[in-house]
């Protein structure tokens, strides 16, 4: 597993923005097979920061319907990463 492919995208919601502003925590969608240690390594490698802790959650895909067809969205995994003091990740929102 390549360390650069572990992080899929960042999550920018109101709750994620509040975590970022108050607790220096950043939220990402990661691949389902990744464990906390791999996520920590990927964040530190990609963003050149020091990670304090990683919390993960698994989500089941919701049922969706388009016209007469129905199916399920993909299952996904979320990681909330707390950075050490004085470290930040530059996002588009911050520019």
Work out the widest C-alpha separation in the chain, in whole angstroms.
Answer: 52
Task: Output the pTM of the full model.
Answer: 0.89
Sequence-distant (≥ 6) Cβ neighbours of residue 79 within 8 angstroms: 27, 28, 29, 30, 34, 36, 39, 54, 55, 56
Distance separating alpha carbons of residues 19 and 2, to the nearest angstrom: 28
CATH of domain 3-89: 3.30.70.330
- What are the tens digits of pLDDT across the range 44-87? 999 999 999 999 999 999 999 999 999 999 999 999 999 999 99
- What are the tens digits of pLDDT across the range 43-54? 999 999 999 999
Domain borders along the chain are: 3-89
């Amino acid at each position: 597993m390549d360390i650069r492919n572990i992080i899929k995208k960042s999550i920018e919601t109101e709750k994620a923005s509040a975590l970022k502003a108050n607790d220096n925590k950043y939220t990402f969608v990661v691949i389902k097979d990744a464990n906390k240690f791999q996520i920590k390594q990927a964040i530190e490698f990609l963003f050149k920061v020091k990670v304090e802790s990683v919390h993960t959650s698994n989500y089941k895909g919701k049922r969706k319907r388009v016209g007469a067809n129905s199916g399920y969205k993909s299952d996904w995994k979320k990681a909330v990463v707390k950075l050490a003091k004085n470290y930040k990740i530059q996002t588009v929102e911050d520019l």
